[in-house]
Amino acid sequence: MIEMTTAVSGDRGRGDAVVPASGQRASMALRLANPSGRAAVPIGTPGLALLAGLIACVSAGGARAEMLRVGKAVPEAFSFVPLDIGVRQGFFQKHGLEIEISGYAGGGRLQQALVAGSVDIGLGSSPEMASLVKGVPAKAVAAMAGPPALLALMVRPDGGIKTVDDLKGRRVGVTTANSLTAWLVRELSRQKGWGPDGISATPLGAIPGLLAALMMMQVDGFVADISTLLRAEDTGEGKILVRFGDLVKDFHVHVIFATDKLIASRPAAIREFLAAWFETIAFMRANREKSVETAMEVLSFDRSVAERTYDILMPMFSDDGRFNPKALAVLSRSYVELQFLPVEPDMSKLYTEEYLPKR
């Protein structure tokens, strides 16, 4: 899982869709039809019948909106901003959906919400697919993003580490011992030929502790999300040495989960959600400025960080949600290396492409 800064589980996101109830829509139609508020047509006239038809149409439109509760593994990651953009640009409404957004303090909390039925759809990281083997009642329904461009490794700007080769035998801070950040450090060491422990992955928790440990020279570097590291570079607290999107090419850093209950009872809602999601991704690619502005508001980024984050992360988003067999093989191996599972699972049982938009 990707563990970042904490957030209060269950909080509605600032990008929640607000769809008036049918009565509110009808009242609005009345005001538009007759701004004065006074009776303008006698009962029984064709005019009233026409107005009643208008009200019925507006009310029916409200009734068609179907609620989906969508949880983000963390509320402050650019990876999940497409949900807010899709709501604000009306893509989910276009597909007859009202979206209720919740943010959680990490992938583990999101999986708990899926188990409890607090959310219908979860936006999380691919290591969480291992939880499905352990009984989480959900399935991955789309590969949301590919290589882990979200994550990078930072070192001190005034330290002795100038190149990746200088990391051999050094201590690098990660969130937890069995997190994706820890696996990426081990994978870097493995690819360099140093074995999985050629770099010491040191669990230190969330971002503030990682940055503090770097400043106090308790570690030689740490792994975090790219936006956090860009801001740290701007303030002179560190320099980005490794971008893991360049290191691990075959990967799915994020996936979209749907609960078994939703799959069984409302499969059409999953199809509409995914159609709206990928329309949003297409919109984001074509509308950099609007996407950056939403990221600035939702994530409290300044423009420079939002623009650079957009440029770095947009290429990782999938345009169709299809799963890459090579990426699934790497994930399967990672579950054993992270000690999530004793043996590599049958990945075909953990995901489905049934609800993706047709090519």
| High-pLDDT (> 90) share of the chain, % | 73
Domain-embedded: residue 12: no
Residues whose CB falls within 8 Å of the CB of residue 219, separated by 6 or more in sequence, listed in order: 171, 172, 173, 202, 204, 210, 213
pLDDT tens track for 310-344: 999 999 999 999 999 999 999 999 999 988 999 99
Distance CA 359, CA 348 (A): 21
Domain-embedded: residue 11: no
| 51 or 21: which leads in pLDDT | 51
In this structure, of 47-61, 166-180, 211-225, the range with the lowest mean pLDDT score is 47-61
The mean pLDDT value of the chain amounts to 85
Of 185, 217, 247, the last residue of a domain is 247
Instruction: Identify the band that residue 63 occupies on the pLDDT scale cut at 50, 70 and 90.
Output: low
Domain-embedded: residue 8: no
Q: Is the same domain home to 140 and 262?
A: yes
Domain-embedded: residue 266: yes
Q: What is the pTM of this model?
A: 0.80
Residue 186: give the domain boundaries. Answer: 151-247
How many domains, in total, are found in the chain? 3
| 7 or 159: which leads in pLDDT | 159
Distance CA 199, CA 9 (A): 34
Per-residue model confidence (pLDDT) at position 7: 33
Residue 181 identity: T
Strand partners, 122: 71, 257
| 8 Å CB contact between 274 and 321 | yes
Q: For 72, what's the count of Cα atoms within 13 Å in the CB-facing half-sphere? A: 28
pLDDT tens track for 126-162: 989 999 999 999 999 999 999 999 999 999 998 789 9
Residue 265 identity: S
CA-to-CA separations, 65 to 22, 32, 97, 253, in angstroms, rounded: 10, 22, 5, 31
Structure tokens at 194: 């140093």
- The CATH code of the domain that includes 227 is 3.40.190.10
Q: Is the same domain home to 296 and 225?
A: no
Distance CA 74, CA 151 (A): 14
Domain-embedded: residue 308: yes
pLDDT tens track for 73-132: 988 899 999 999 999 999 999 999 999 999 998 888 999 999 999 999 999 999 899 999
pLDDT tens track for 272-323: 999 999 999 999 999 999 999 999 999 999 999 999 999 999 999 999 999 9
Domain-embedded: residue 7: no
CA dihedral 334, 338, 343, 347 (to 10 degrees): -40
- Asked if the model's pLDDT at residue 15 lies above 90, the reply is no
Q: Is the same domain home to 71 and 27?
A: no
Domain-embedded: residue 140: yes
pLDDT tens track for 26-35: 332 323 333 3
Q: Is the same domain home to 265 and 343?
A: yes
Q: Is the same domain home to 51 and 73?
A: no
